[in-house]
Amino acid sequence: MRATFTKGSKPKEVVEAIEWIFCGNTDPIPFDMCSEALGARPIVLRKRLMYEFYRKWIVFPNSFPFLATPLPDDVGSVIFYEAGDNAVALAVLIWYWPGVSTEDLLSLAAEKGLRVTQHDIDRLEATGMVACNYENWYVTCRRQRQERNGIDTNWKRSAIYA
């Protein structure tokens, strides 16, 4: 996982790490199996990695392959409840392309046939499940408004305990 955001990582290492974590690459052993063997839930580790991309402002040049792990159901449910269908569709695009620029996000949405307004983007961001670092978007899976109020997610505890 460190290879995905460590400054000294070679581009090939980063691509291989992303494919192993997010795309079901089973060489040599599946990510999910390794996570479970260590007593951690794979989806929680993936969420944490997305959050680290945001914290370290890592911008990917393009989206993950279409076979990548989908947006977690719990994240999509919160976004749907608080912001609606368009916001979920935007979150999916952001999940598959951490660090996507606002311009590219809007272009992707248009390619997918989505009619996205600034209101949709504002509602999505208000859920606290995505965050914008300047013009780059990330699914952080953390509610920034809760963090501002002193309520924080304990990643270690959530990764280990069901």
According to DSSP, the residues that pair with 133 across neighbouring strands are: 136
Q: How confident is the model at residue 6 (pLDDT cuts 50, 70, 90)?
A: confident
H-run or E-run covering 101: strand 100-101
Structure tokens of 59?
């911008």
12-27 confidence digits (pLDDT tens): 888 888 889 998 777 7
* Res 140 pLDDT > 90: yes
Separation between Cα atoms, residue 17 and residue 9, nearest integer Å: 10
Q: How confident is the model at residue 67 (pLDDT cuts 50, 70, 90)?
A: confident
pLDDT score, position 162? 37
Which pairs from 83-87 meet CB under 8 Å and 24+ separation?
83/120, 83/123, 83/124, 83/126, 83/127, 84/120, 84/123, 86/114, 86/115, 86/116, 86/117, 86/120, 87/120, 87/123, 87/124, 87/127
pLDDT score, position 12? 87
Q: Domain coordinates of the chain in residue numbers?
A: 40-160
> What's the pTM?
0.85
What single-letter DSSP state applies at residue 8? T
Q: How confident is the model at residue 8 (pLDDT cuts 50, 70, 90)?
A: confident
Output 144 or 92, whichever has higher pLDDT: 92
Alpha carbons within 13 angstroms on the beta-carbon side of residue 73 total 0
